[in-house]
Amino acid sequence: MADTANLGPKPVRKRKAANAPGPGLLIEHEGAPAEADAAVGDAAPADTAPRLAGLRIERGGIEHATAQQVEVRMGGIGQLEADEVFVSWGGVGAARAKQVGVEFGSVGAALAGELRVSQGSVGVAAAREAVIEQSFVRTLIAQDVRITRPSAVLLLLAARVEGSVRPVLDWRAALAFGAAFGLVSALVRRARKPSR
């Protein structure tokens, strides 16, 4: 008869960084200790780090993380890969996830299946579905976009848009801008060439 061990949920490890300013960085994560230390922090690249079950960052930041679920509150992560990401009063440099949620926070670049932004900002985002509520998005590329409250979108490329949004540049304006920019840069290059 095989010896059965307690197969309950993995313990949540809490770590407080000694070099963080103010009250410090609180990191909560689930996973084996060796995996957790390799997947959180700045020692290993995000593509080679083990995947944690869950990670929560508060009042501080880390360079990169790889986990199934990531929650950032009043903190930041430079780069992350996860299934689900939620950012509240914090920021993420680059996120790749199935679901990204931003509330009173910001994300520099996001690649997601579902993107939800409420009173936040996103630099560049590519998603299958995007819901934007009272937010600013610089560039949004998506299949389905729903704008539920007044929002600002600089460049919008979408198959279907629901709600009232007036992008500063739509795909036609972006194409015209790109053609004009190309023409001007070609003329500048031609003018700079030394004559023979």
Give the position of tokens 């996001």. Answer: 110
Structure token digits, residue 177: 């801008």
Give the model's pLDDT for residue 9: 41
Is the per-residue pLDDT at 108 higher than 60? Answer: yes
| 163 in Cβ contact with 140 (< 8 Å) | no
SS3 41: strand
Environment class of residue 64 by beta-carbon count within 10 Å: exposed (0-12), middle (13-18) or buried (19+)?
buried
Average pLDDT, the chain: 76
pLDDT at 26 over 60: no
Beta-strand relationship, 91-103 and 106-118 = parallel
Residues 54 and 69: beta-carbon distance below 8 Å: yes
Tokens (6 digits) for 189: 């290059």
CB atoms within 10 A of CB 3: 4
What is the pLDDT, as a whole number, of residue 195?
63
Whether the CB-CB separation of 95 and 112 falls below 8 Å is answered with yes
